[in-house]
Chains A and B, each alone.
Chain A
């Protein structure tokens, strides 16, 4: 079974804080993704990575950065958290098949 884990289920941060969200997959997948999910807007792609140290901007990269130092780990960084970054953050990975497998999500509240 594919397993994607995320470091926190719930997170509360203050405006201006630097926030790290971590994602780990155990299936040796090449591709990893970060999405945010908001009511009425669906899932929107923030960044993705198709190899170690490689990254590509998604549809809404502003205010975010990513890091992939190891194949199994993909981190999302909010350099200076703002209230409009309150959301559900979902990590996914995919390998040689097309299917993306998702983690359980991190619900982030920025006060």
Chain B
């Protein structure tokens, strides 16, 4: 059974204080790993797809990396508007279904 574990559950950072969020996964053949951002009361917003170990993708202050067992979402010099819950999900080969982690709730304090 595919599993995704995200840590920490919650993270509070000062504005400008860089950090990383972790997504550990077990999957029967990774087709893709996805990162989403979710604001309170809204649907998840797509950020990145990673397909193979060693791949990296960047968007503004966010960079996602992937190994064979985990993915990291690095946030550099965050701003208060980066506060949100960040969700990780995996999709195996031969299957349309995503398995989601429970997310990391990130709070950036001005």
Least Cβ–Cβ distance between B83 and chain A, in angstroms: 18
Interface size class of B (residues with CB under 8 A): 20 to 34
> How far is B41's CA from A45's CA once the two chains are assembled, in angstroms?
18
Q: What residues on A are CB-neighbors of B34 within 8 Å?
A: 98-100
Using known A-B contacts A102-B43, A104-B42, A105-B43, determine if residue A50 contacts B100 with beta carbons closer than 8 Å.
no
Within 8 Å of chain B (Cβ to Cβ): is A75?
A: no
Within 8 Å of chain A (Cβ to Cβ): is B45?
A: yes
Least Cβ–Cβ distance between B24 and chain A, in angstroms: 14
Q: What residues on B are CB-neighbors of A40 within 8 Å?
A: 102
A42 touches B49 (CB 8 A): no
> How far is B31's CA from A31's CA once the two chains are assembled, in angstroms?
16
Query: How would residues 66 to 97 of chain B score, 1 for a CB under 8 Å from any chain A CB and 0 otherwise?
Result: 00000000000000000000010101000011
A102 touches B44 (CB 8 A): yes
B101 touches A42 (CB 8 A): yes
Q: What residues on A are CB-neighbors of B96 within 8 Å?
A: 31, 48, 50, 94
B97 touches A101 (CB 8 A): no
Q: What residues on A are CB-neighbors of B46 within 8 Å?
A: 99-102
A48 touches B97 (CB 8 A): yes
Q: Which residues of B contact A (CB under 8 A)?
A: 31-32, 34, 36, 41-46, 49, 87, 89, 91, 96-98, 100-103
Q: Which residues of A contact B (CB under 8 A)?
A: 4, 31, 40-45, 48, 50, 58, 90, 94, 97-105, 107
